[in-house]
Structure 1
Amino acid sequence: MITTEFGDLVAERLRVEHRTLAARWFARLIDLLPVEARDVFPSESLLDHVPELILEIGEYLRQPDVDPIAANSSIMAKSRELGALRHGQRASLHQILREYQILSGVLATFVLEEVERLPLAPPPAETVLLVSRLHQAVAIVCQSTVEAFVALYTQTIAEQNERLEQFTRMAAHEWRQPLGALQFGVSLLRKADLDEARSERTLAAVDRNVQRLIELTHKLHAIARVQGSADTPMVQKVRAGTVAQEAARQLREMADARGVTVQISDNLPTLTVDVGRLELVLVNLLSNAIKYSDAAKTERRVDVEEGQQSDGWARMEVRDNGVGIPPHALSTIFQRFTRAHTRDDLTHVPGIGLGLAIVDDCVRAMGGRIDVRSVEHEGTTFELTLPLVAPTQ
């Protein structure tokens, strides 16, 4: 049995040192990581949760005769919050188990250190019982965190499967139309009595549909390339304006066909960046802005401008006066296979919801972020925030 006095002394020391112990745990964890801490802990929230868990575990040790720690709604709620946090931070299940293993070791070592310096000497059996109770508490808290993490992970898998099924349907629809047109065009061209004018129109239709299939294939390849571990980025110092001009050049025919003016600012920053990914980002943003230009407006334009700068970071804005994005779609537009527009007059715009997913993947890979503001019927602004110097890979 653990005496109340012994439990109180250890619990009080845990209360006093809970932040120091959390820092010790974090230092131990960082020593074992093969990557930068920021890659595993992208926010400071973890360092708020762990000290609170240590406090709650200390209170549990203070009262040896209370119900099991699983009955403590406060500590169970905090452990579930931690599971949700680590899921949001894209941690792995192995990382979570390792984190709790280290926490258990840090707390047990602390208890043994305190036994050495306590004014009373508890029997060895009592010390063993307290450490055992501590390990049990950490194990139960760990289980609660893992259950919350796995539940969210399972939900994510289900959502991804649903989007994959949606993609399969949309891709089949997107491929079916140009393939049908190609099949019909080939059958026409085989006719011996086809006049020259009809033949030219048919060849033009065949060419358009081939280009559409090529564009779709390029988008699928782009997603695979951005996420592929074997991809080697070409990082170099470059003027963002030069990359933007090249992206606009590639889309000049599309812009001219829709009467859209693309204007590139002369004040865009100079970056040390993966040029291929930056170009892919700008091509997709400009392409979207051109495709969703507002035919009802006499002046249709897309502007690429410098945003507000800060130490070590550059900002660029791609702004258009197109049809805008519905408010309900703003939170999901960067998800794969998601299209923002369901209006009848816009569903003809080609695409299967990959362009902005490619943009988001590229920006993340470059160590940056992308934000969007939009008002329907007025236009959309995408703000890119990128480091002036590419982070070390």
Structure 2
Amino acid sequence: MFRSLQSRLFLTYLLVTVLVLTVIGLLLIYFLLQAPNPIGQQIEYRRLDFWISQFSSREARGLLALPPNRLPEVMERVDQMVKARTLLVGADGEVLGDSRPEEEPLSLDILTKVAASKTDTRGLFRYTPVDRWLYVSSPLGDQRWMILIAPQPTLRALGLLGNELLRTLLVAGSVALLFSIILAWLIAHWVTAPLRRMVGASKAVAAGKYDQQLPLTGPEEVQSLAAAFNEMVRRVQTSRQAQRDFVANVSHELKTPLTSIQGFAQAILDGTAQKPEDQQHAARVIYDESNRLRRLVEDLLDLARIDTGQVAFERHPVDLGALLRSVVERLSVRAEEVGVRIESRLPDFPPIVGDGDRLAQVFTNLIDNAVKHSSEGGVVNLMGERDGGWISIHFDDAGPGIPPEELSRIFERFYQLDKARPGGRGRGVGLGLAISREIVQAHGGRLVAQSAVGRGSRFTVQLPIIRPDDSTLVRSHS
């Protein structure tokens, strides 16, 4: 019955309200029962005044003439007649007779106050913090005073609990309970409304509707939950779009070389390419496109392994200077073929711990890209520096530069720069920079790009100096 959050909140609020109303009602009844009744108090004073005036005016001589051994008996008869504790007090507050000697004795302050008075007195006193008592006194003569004591009238004494008071409390409690039920339902509905919206939005996302956004309303915790949900939906939408783009890009990148391979193979088979030079050209195209397919598959496998954490990066000392010189030497011949020169100014780097083969893959990709986008006669510069605990290696090209709107996307998978821009030669698939960044991040470093249109580009690899005795490589995500 109470499985939903709204019903449980409603029940909780209702139980708290009932508990509070019950406690308040009981406390109110208790204090009202103990509260004095002013009208009853005046009536009781008049009653005691009447009786004590009767004794002081008509029975004073008889009381004064009683021997001490008869005083208790007479005080008890007066008590039964008057229905009040009766005391006879002498000089200095000495109690000569008491109708209820077993009860708490009257305080000495009251006794001395009465004994010092020459007229009738009245007042209030307490035996306990709860019980209140009225007293009246009158002088009898011969330094004797009579005191009558009766409990102070309260609402309990008038029997109001069973009548007007009880009815009033029940009506007030019922009205308060009714309003609390309505208020508890409204509050529970208000608190759970964002959650219901979130449930509806979640179902919509599960159905493929990724345009769901929750309003940031309600308590702070609900707003934080809604903001987290909106961010989750945004990331899911981005991920789904990236997945669709990935499938489309892979399909395109696979289809293009396969079409070339199929076309030239068909030309050889059907005899269209009969001349030796035509057959050699067809074989060269098939060979190049096959290599491009192989590189594409290898890059895809690398990305898949990196994403799933299945790439086991080696951990051994790496001489960055020697590694860079080796890569430069290997790529210099290819660069010279297209009229580009590679120059390097590298200091002596301290050895670091890393995967030399993977770092060589990064450096190869960056230098190869710089050569591709440098115009004939251009220079690709490699520079290195050490800054504190970091090593920075800069790869500068003399190409046309990258527009700002494209610079922010060059590390996206399958993203390729505008084909129409000048300076480019050769065509990749847009995975090299994405893989390079993942490898650098796996070494705890950063790969950043800077460019200005018409002035070339700079790619910088920043690597932390990890000593050989440090822990294994830790992969970090940007």
- TM-score exceeds 0.5: yes
1:76-155 mapped onto 2 (5 Å cutoff)? 141-155=220-234
For normalisation by structure 2, the TM-score amounts to: 0.48
Task: Name the residue aligned to 2:243.
Answer: 164
For normalisation by structure 1, the TM-score amounts to: 0.58
For residues 203-234 of structure 1, what are the alpha-carbon distances to aligned partners after superposition, in whole Å with 9 as ceiling and x for unaligned? Answer: 11111111111221222122123333232211
Indicate if the aligned counterparts of 1:325 and 1:341 stay in contact, CA closer than 8 A.
no
Task: Name the residue aligned to 1:351.
Answer: 428
Which one of 244, 248, 262 corresponds to residue 183 of structure 1?
A: 262
Give 1:349 deviation, angstroms: 4.7
Q: Secondary structure of 1:384's partner?
A: strand
Is it true that 1:290 corresponds to 2:371 in the alignment?
A: yes
Structure 1 residues 246 and 219, CA gap change in structure 2 (3 angstroms): farther
Structure 1 residues 267 and 210, CA gap change in structure 2 (3 angstroms): same
Residues in 1 aligned to 2:367 and 2:424: alpha-carbon distance in whole angstroms:
19
Give 1:182 deviation, angstroms: 0.8
Residues in 2 aligned to 1:142 and 1:188: alpha-carbon distance in whole angstroms:
69
Letter paired with 1:300: G
Give 1:142 deviation, angstroms: 4.3
Letter paired with 1:339: Q
Structure 1 residues 140 and 278, CA gap change in structure 2 (3 angstroms): farther
Which one of 368, 383, 387 corresponds to residue 310 of structure 1?
A: 387
Identity %: 24
Indicate if the aligned counterparts of 1:241 and 1:265 stay in contact, CA closer than 8 A.
no
Question: Hey, which of these two has a bigger chunk of strand by percent?
Answer: 2
Structure 1 residues 253 and 206, CA gap change in structure 2 (3 angstroms): farther
For residues 304-356 of structure 1, what are the alpha-carbon distances to aligned partners after superposition, in whole Å with 9 as ceiling and x for unaligned? Answer: 2103x222211111111112111122222222232343536578852332222
Structure 1 residues 214 and 165, CA gap change in structure 2 (3 angstroms): same
Structure 1 residues 150 and 280, CA gap change in structure 2 (3 angstroms): farther
Residues in 2 aligned to 1:277 and 1:153: alpha-carbon distance in whole angstroms:
33
Give 1:176 deviation, angstroms: 2.0
Structure 1 residues 310 and 253, CA gap change in structure 2 (3 angstroms): closer
Letter paired with 2:359: L
Indicate if the aligned counterparts of 2:341 and 2:378 stay in contact, CA closer than 8 A.
yes
Which one of 407, 410, 427 corresponds to residue 333 of structure 1?
A: 410
Residues in 1 aligned to 2:439 and 2:363: alpha-carbon distance in whole angstroms:
10
Structure 1 residues 159 and 211, CA gap change in structure 2 (3 angstroms): same
Residues in 2 aligned to 1:149 and 1:391: alpha-carbon distance in whole angstroms:
34
Task: Name the residue aligned to 1:234.
Answer: 314
Task: Name the residue aligned to 1:40.
Answer: none
Residues in 2 aligned to 1:215 and 1:252: alpha-carbon distance in whole angstroms:
21
1:209-288 mapped onto 2 (5 Å cutoff)? 209-248=289-328, 251-252=331-332, 254-267=334-347, 269=349, 270-288=351-369
Which one of 447, 458, 463 corresponds to residue 386 of structure 1?
A: 463
Structure 1 residues 288 and 347, CA gap change in structure 2 (3 angstroms): closer
Residues in 2 aligned to 1:279 and 1:216: alpha-carbon distance in whole angstroms:
18
Letter paired with 1:343: A
**Structure 1: which 5+ runs fail to align?**
2-67, 72-138
Task: Name the residue aligned to 2:82.
Answer: none
Indicate if the aligned counterparts of 2:374 and 2:424 stay in contact, CA closer than 8 A.
no
1:66-81 mapped onto 2 (5 Å cutoff)? none
Residues in 2 aligned to 1:142 and 1:367: alpha-carbon distance in whole angstroms:
35
Q: Secondary structure of 2:387's partner?
A: coil
Residues in 2 aligned to 1:174 and 1:268: alpha-carbon distance in whole angstroms:
41
Residues in 2 aligned to 1:268 and 1:362: alpha-carbon distance in whole angstroms:
23
Structure 1 residues 153 and 304, CA gap change in structure 2 (3 angstroms): farther
Residues in 1 aligned to 2:327 and 2:313: alpha-carbon distance in whole angstroms:
18
Residues in 1 aligned to 2:432 and 2:297: alpha-carbon distance in whole angstroms:
12
For residues 42-62 of structure 1, what are the alpha-carbon distances to aligned partners after superposition, in whole Å with 9 as ceiling and x for unaligned? Answer: xxxxxxxxxxxxxxxxxxxxx
Structure 1 residues 384 and 374, CA gap change in structure 2 (3 angstroms): same
Give 1:257 deviation, angstroms: 4.1
Residues in 2 aligned to 1:335 and 1:375: alpha-carbon distance in whole angstroms:
19
Letter paired with 1:159: T
Answer with 1 or 2: which has the greater Rg.
Answer: 2
Give 1:163 deviation, angstroms: 2.5
Using CA pairs under 8 Å that are at least 6 residues apart, name the structure with larger relative contact order, 1 or 2.
Answer: 1
Structure 1 residues 337 and 200, CA gap change in structure 2 (3 angstroms): closer
Task: Name the residue aligned to 1:31.
Answer: none
Indicate if the aligned counterparts of 2:402 and 2:457 stay in contact, CA closer than 8 A.
yes
Give 1:260 deviation, angstroms: 2.1
Q: Secondary structure of 1:234's partner?
A: coil
Residues in 2 aligned to 1:161 and 1:212: alpha-carbon distance in whole angstroms:
27
Residues in 2 aligned to 1:207 and 1:215: alpha-carbon distance in whole angstroms:
12
Residues in 2 aligned to 1:166 and 1:346: alpha-carbon distance in whole angstroms:
27
Structure 1 residues 164 and 301, CA gap change in structure 2 (3 angstroms): farther
Which one of 373, 393, 397 corresponds to residue 320 of structure 1?
A: 397
Structure 1 residues 201 and 342, CA gap change in structure 2 (3 angstroms): closer
Which one of 195, 202, 212 corresponds to residue 275 of structure 2?
A: 195
Residues in 2 aligned to 1:210 and 1:285: alpha-carbon distance in whole angstroms:
23
Residues in 2 aligned to 1:355 and 1:160: alpha-carbon distance in whole angstroms:
20
Structure 1 residues 353 and 164, CA gap change in structure 2 (3 angstroms): farther
Q: Aligned residues, how many?
A: 260
